[in-house]
């Protein structure tokens, strides 16, 4: 195992992580960033096809280059011995990062709610389908239904349209009046207003229904049709793909393991983005889903504060303006109670362990369900069924245990064998102009 010493260690290289890294380094700190993907940028700035980097990410890379930030790509956080000692694996090699301050910018993941047929091939998350298409999965000419809730539906629909998909319907579970009420608040954020108007203009030819949600997907070897329920009745559409997601939930597993306070499913932070654990900061969607502009502002605040520098007032003001919009967003896309009744008794809820809804309905807690059915004990470690069962049954998070992600036993066995940091620097790169 190799050791890496860092003053500010940042977990995640999405918009919040990149902003935190740049701010901390420019404040004079020695910064390391850990990212599980093969390129930085997160889902929002994910490279498309063989493209080396999203244009926005390249601008951040150039900024990080000037300050010597080390970015460890394809590196998975495995465990932690408190907030000052983080264990990772990269290419089968374990590393131990020792740091003075830690910034968690682990982002969010999609919320999936079970309904009959949601496990069929061809039924994916909204962001999941976008990621597949960006990676080269063919979508041109395929009939696609986009359903669920939140602004991500429109953004993904527009992305699929540009790649030749035949968009049959965008189904938003929120009522039209709630979305209109949100739109009236956009004057406070001109950039968001321009983005929203642009999306609506580009999608003007795509049918859209509000107060509409999926009831059932049908097919044999893959999805063939989807039945949707709306306030004005039901509709069934034949399709080749169903992209379905009911918003985003913060990725708080590591924060919870470190003992950080969590409220309403998000990491709690103060005005400097510091958590209840001294020296541990949070930025971006781990503190609450609010979009890329808020993530960048929070990252800049967290990185500067973690470096021990004074946070510029402009970043605090920008963050506060963006945060004021989040409450409107939450109210507009609040999930309707009907979604709790979508699953049939035989509908699979925990996909990893094939646990059906009827096996969970009588459990009093997530822990009781886990002991009786193994729900949440599969390879995703509850990342899919955990938020779903919290919505369905009101269960709170069970205890988080390492390893945070599945890793080879050989990598875990390497803990305790330490090599000097200069012995093997292969798992990090300092950004260069042609990376």
Each residue's pLDDT tens digit, 107-153: 999 999 999 999 999 999 999 999 899 888 999 999 999 999 999 99
Using pLDDT thresholds of 50, 70 and 90, give the confidence band for residue 49: low
Where does the pLDDT of residue 416 fall: very low under 50, low under 70, confident under 90, or very high at 90 and above? low
295: enclosing H helix or E strand: helix 292-306
Which has more confidence, 408 or 421? 408
Q: Is the pLDDT of residue 302 over 90?
A: yes
410 band by pLDDT with thresholds 50, 70 and 90: confident
231 token code pair:
């306030």
User: Which one has a higher pLDDT value, 183 or 175?
Assistant: 175
Separation between Cα atoms, residue 71 and residue 87, nearest integer Å = 15
CA 157: distance to chain centroid? 18
**For residues 318-334, average pLDDT:** 88
Helix (H, G, I), strand (E, B) or coil at 113: coil
Both tokens of 417, joined, read 């064998």
Lowest-confidence range among 50-59, 117-126, 243-252, 400-409? Answer: 50-59
Cα 344–chain centre separation: 28
Q: Cα–Cα distance between 209 and 34 in angstroms, integer? A: 41
Encode pLDDT of 247-274 as tens digits: 999 999 999 999 999 998 899 999 999 9
The answer to whether residue 341 scores a pLDDT higher than 60 is yes
pLDDT at 429: 47
Between 286 and 406, the higher pLDDT residue: 286
**Helix (H) or strand (E) run with residue 158 in it:** helix 152-162
**pLDDT at residue 51 in the model:** 53
Backbone phi, then psi, for 65, in 5-degree steps? Answer: -55, -40
Q: Which is more confidently placed, 43 or 3?
A: 3
What is the per-residue pLDDT for 129? Answer: 94
Q: Over 90: is that where the pLDDT of 48 sits? A: no
Three-state DSSP state, 234: strand
> How far apart, in whole angstroms, are the C-alpha atoms of residue 87 and residue 78?
6
CA 304 to chain centre: 23
The sheet carrying 212-219 orders its strands as 212-219, 223-230, 233-238
Give the per-residue pLDDT at 323: 86
Over residues 15-34, the mean pLDDT reads 95
Give the per-residue pLDDT at 415. 66
Q: Residue 252: which of 113, 386, 101 has the closest Cα?
A: 386
Mean pLDDT in residue range 68-86: 92
The answer to whether the predicted template modeling score (pTM) of the entire model surpasses 0.85 is yes
If you average pLDDT over residues 412-432, what whole number do you get?
49
Measured over the CA atoms of residue 60, residue 260, residue 385 and residue 392, the dihedral's sign is negative
pLDDT at residue 186 tops 80: no
Strand order in the sheet with 241-246: 123-124, 241-246, 143-149, 166-172, 208-210
Return the bridge partners of 243, or none.
Answer: 124, 146
Helix axes 313-332, 292-306, angle to 10 degrees: 140
* 236 phi, psi to nearest 5 deg: -115, 130
Residue keyed to tokens 């740049």: 22
d(CA 340, CA 395): 13
**Model pLDDT, residue 326:** 83
% of the chain with per-residue pLDDT over 70: 93
How much is the mean pLDDT over the chain? 88
More confident of the two residues 21 and 426: 21
Kind and range of the H or E element at 297? helix 292-306
Average pLDDT score over residue span 163-173 = 96
Q: DSSP for 182-219, please give it.
A: HHTTGGG-HHHHHHHHHHHHHTTTS-EEESEEEEEEEE
Burial class (CB in 10 A: 0-12, 13-18, 19+), 162: exposed
Tell me how crowded residue 346 is: count the other CB atoms within 10 A of its CB: 10
pLDDT at 434 over 80: no
- For residue 18, give the nearest of 31, 28, 6 by alpha carbon: 31
CB atoms within 10 A of CB 266: 20
Which tens digits make up the pLDDT trace of 219-253? 998 999 999 999 889 999 999 999 999 999 999 99
271's CB contacts (< 8 A; 6+ apart) are 316
- The whole-number pLDDT of residue 183 equals 85
Model confidence band, residue 157 (pLDDT cutoffs 50, 70, 90): very high
Treating both helix axes as pointing N-terminal to C-terminal, what angle do 15-26 and 292-306 enclose, rounded to 10 degrees?
30
């Amino acid at each position: 195992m190799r050791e890496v010493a860092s003053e500010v260690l940042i977990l995640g290289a999405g918009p919040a992580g990149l902003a935190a890294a740049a701010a901390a380094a420019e404040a004079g700190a020695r910064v390391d960033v850990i990212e599980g993907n093969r390129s930085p940028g997160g889902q929002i700035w994910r490279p498309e096809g063989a493209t080396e980097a999203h244009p926005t990410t390249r601008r951040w890379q150039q900024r990080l280059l000037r300050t010597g930030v080390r970015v460890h790509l394809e590196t998975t956080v495995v465990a932690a011995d408190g907030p000052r000692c983080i264990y990772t694996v990269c290419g089968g090699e374990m590393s131990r990062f020792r740091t003075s301050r830690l910034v968690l910018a682990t982002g969010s993941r999609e919320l999936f709610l079970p309904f009959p047929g949601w496990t069929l091939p061809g039924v994916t998350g909204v962001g999941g389908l976008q990621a597949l298409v960006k990676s080269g999965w063919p979508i041109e000419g395929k009939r696609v239904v986009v359903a669920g809730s939140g602004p991500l539906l429109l953004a993904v629909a527009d992305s699929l349209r540009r790649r030749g998909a035949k968009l049959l319907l965008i189904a938003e579970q929120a009522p039209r009046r709630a979305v209109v009420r949100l739109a009236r608040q956009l004057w406070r954020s001109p950039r968001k207003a321009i983005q929203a108007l642009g999306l609506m203009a580009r999608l003007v030819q795509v049918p859209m229904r509000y107060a509409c949600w999926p009831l059932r997907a049908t097919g044999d070897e893959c999805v063939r049709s989807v039945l949707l329920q709306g306030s004005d009745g039901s509709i069934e559409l034949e399709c080749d793909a169903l992209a379905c997601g009911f918003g985003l939930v913060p990725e708080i597993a590591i924060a919870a393991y470190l003992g950080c306070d969590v409220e309403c499913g998000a990491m709690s932070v103060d005005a400097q983005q510091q958590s209840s654990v001294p020296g541990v900061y949070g930025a971006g969607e781990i503190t609450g889903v609010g979009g890329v502009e808020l993530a960048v502002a929070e990252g800049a605040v967290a990185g500067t504060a973690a470096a021990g520098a004074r946070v510029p007032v402009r970043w605090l003001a920008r963050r506060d303006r963006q945060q004021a919009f989040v409450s409107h967003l939450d109210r507009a896309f609040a999930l309707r109670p009907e979604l709790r009744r979508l699953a049939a008794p035989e509908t699979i809820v925990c996909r990893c362990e094939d646990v059906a809804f009827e096996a969970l309905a009588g459990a009093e807690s997530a822990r009781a369900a886990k002991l009786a059915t193994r729900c949440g004990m599969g390879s995703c470690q509850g990342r899919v069924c955990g938020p779903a069962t919290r919505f369905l049954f009101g269960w709170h998070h069970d205890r988080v245990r390492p390893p945070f992600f599945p890793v080879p036993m050989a990598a875990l066995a390497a803990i305790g064998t330490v090599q000097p940091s200069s012995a093997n620097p292969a798992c990090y790169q300092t950004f260069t102009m042609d990376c």
